Amino acid sequence: MLEEILKTRIMVKQSMKAYKHDKAITRMLEARQLGLKYIANFTYGYTAANFSGRMPCIEVRVADKTTEKLKLDLLAGRSERSSYTQSMFVLLKGATKEQSFKIGQEIAEAVTATNPKPVKLKFEKVYLPCVLQTKKRYVGYMYETLDQKDPVFDAKGIETVRRDSCPAVSKILECSIKLLFETRDISQIKQYVQNQCMKLLEGKASIQDFIFAKEYRGSSAYKPGSCVPALEITRRMLAYDRRSEPRVGERVPYVIVYGMPGLPLIQLVRRPAEVLQDPSLRLNATYYITKQILPPLARVFSLIGIDVFSWYHELPRIQKNASTARSELEGRKGTISQYFTTLHCPVCDELTQYGICTKCRSQPQSRKCSPCPKRVTTHFLFPLL
């Protein structure tokens, strides 16, 4: 049964190459081959179940014997060809794409010839270039055939293909890696990352790119006192309407906003609709940049000796201080400062949301401010820029 499943998966993957120009058929075949892969993996795990599951094979130890046999075969293969087959990934320094395909095929045929059937080593693809983070975490430009001209961006295990973060993390990381592969110019990557950070600090970024979505497991599935964003949002929704509880397994969207210093992160969780309705709530740019965007970038670029956190520290202090000061003013609920805010720019008297408007900040030479009591008062309430 497993042999038929594996052969069928190989057939489906070969069909994908024949229909690679049709995206709809390619997506359908990709889903089918992935389903066949899961069935084969689940069958292996089914025989290794100790007490859960309906068909454990503890006495025969099918799963343990399978792992033991494969380990011995791999060790034997490595000892016989230790000069050029040290891993599933083979580094070919200075080799071209054509040479890589030729060497890869030779390695696959040599390993297959020294193992009994049905053990077979298949040469799949060439990465040019590639970044290997850790086990099962890598990304590269993939070539599956020698005549393939344009590479495919292929990532495994990193934030570009994971759903436990916000879309901005995936977009910024993928764009930065593509710039690295295509330009090899760190200055362009630095400029791009800093521009994205400035957009977030200035409040110009779209809220859609910073929405988290975590699965709600049901009120009874959490331990008492659990600090889970999906549960916290659900509690607030239920306090407003008892009929608004999400279904079990449904993903609950939320964002992180600014608050008073020292507040736990769970108290900064808000629904996107709340941020859109309340002007005093703003996305916590410091949290998103330092805790979400920069760490994945650091895991990639630290391999080549780049400190991406220094890019953030090099940003103009005026912008960061202004954002922090505004967040502190907005977080002080019940204090006198919240009643003296103004929606007029103290320089040009145009409507604005945060002190001096963006136009006046970007054109310092054109400022013509005539002192008046009203504007002097506003300068005391907002940070000077």
Task: Give the whole-angstrom CA distance, residue 13 versus residue 107.
Answer: 21
Averaged pLDDT for residues 6-29 = 88
| 73-119 pLDDT per residue, tens | 655 555 444 333 445 788 888 889 999 999 999 988 888 888 777 67
Residue-wise pLDDT for 341-361, tens only, equals 445 676 776 766 556 777 777
210 burial (CB, 10 Å; 0-12 / 13-18 / 19+) is: buried
What is the rounded distance in angstroms from the CA atom of residue 348 to the CA atom of residue 80? 78
Say which residues have a Cβ less than 8 Å from residue 211's Cβ, sequence separation at least 6.
166, 167, 253, 254, 255, 272
Q: Which tens digit of pLDDT belongs to each residue from 240-270? A: 888 889 999 999 999 999 998 888 999 999 9
Phi-psi region of 178 (alpha: psi -120 to 50; beta: other; left: phi over 0): alpha
What the chain holds in terms of domains, given with CATH numbers, is 207-282 (1.10.132.60), 340-385 (no CATH)
Does this model's pTM top 0.75? My answer is: no
Question: What is the pLDDT averaged over residues 124-130?
Answer: 91
What is the reported pLDDT for 32? Answer: 94
Mean pLDDT, range 149-157, rounded to an integer: 91
The amino acid at residue 2 is L
Q: Which two tokens stand for residue 341?
A: 């805010």
DSSP category for residue 97: H
Residue with more model confidence, 1 or 103: 103
Q: CA-to-CA distance for 36 and 48, rounded, in angstroms?
A: 19
Q: How far apart are CA 233 and CA 87, in angstroms?
A: 46
In this prediction, residue 292 carries a pLDDT of: 94
